[in-house]
Amino acid sequence: MRTINLGKTGLAVPVIAVGCMRINRLSGTEPETFVKTALELGANFFDHADVYGGGTCESIFAEAVGMSSSVREKVLLQTKCGIRPGIAFDFSKDHILKSVDGSLTRLKTDYIDVLLLHRPDALVEPEEVAEAFDILHASGKVRHFGVSNQRPALIRLLQKYVKQPIAANQLQLSITNATMISQSLHENMLDDWAVDRDGSVLDFCRLENITIQPWSPFQCGFFEGVFLGNKKFPELNAKIDEIAGKYSVSNTTIAMAWLLRHPAAFQPVTGTMNTGRLRDCVKATDITLTREEWYEIYLAAGNTLP
Catalytic annotation, residues: 52
Q: Provide Rg for the chain, Cα atoms.
A: 19
- Four-residue CA torsion sign, 218, 223, 229, 234: negative
What backbone phi and psi angles, to 5 degrees, belong to 66?
65, 55
Q: Which residues contact 215 (CB under 8 A, 6 or more apart)?
A: 19, 148, 170, 171, 172, 173, 269, 271
Q: Are 166 and 213 in contact (CB under 8 A)?
A: no
Q: Coil, helix or strand for 270?
A: strand
CA distance 20 to 57: 7
CB 214 within 8 A of CB 271: no
Cross-strand partners of 170:
148, 213
Long-range pairs for 83-86: beta carbons < 8 A, 24 or more residues apart: 83/49, 83/50, 83/51, 83/118, 83/119, 85/51, 85/54
Q: Are 275 and 281 in contact (CB under 8 A)?
A: no
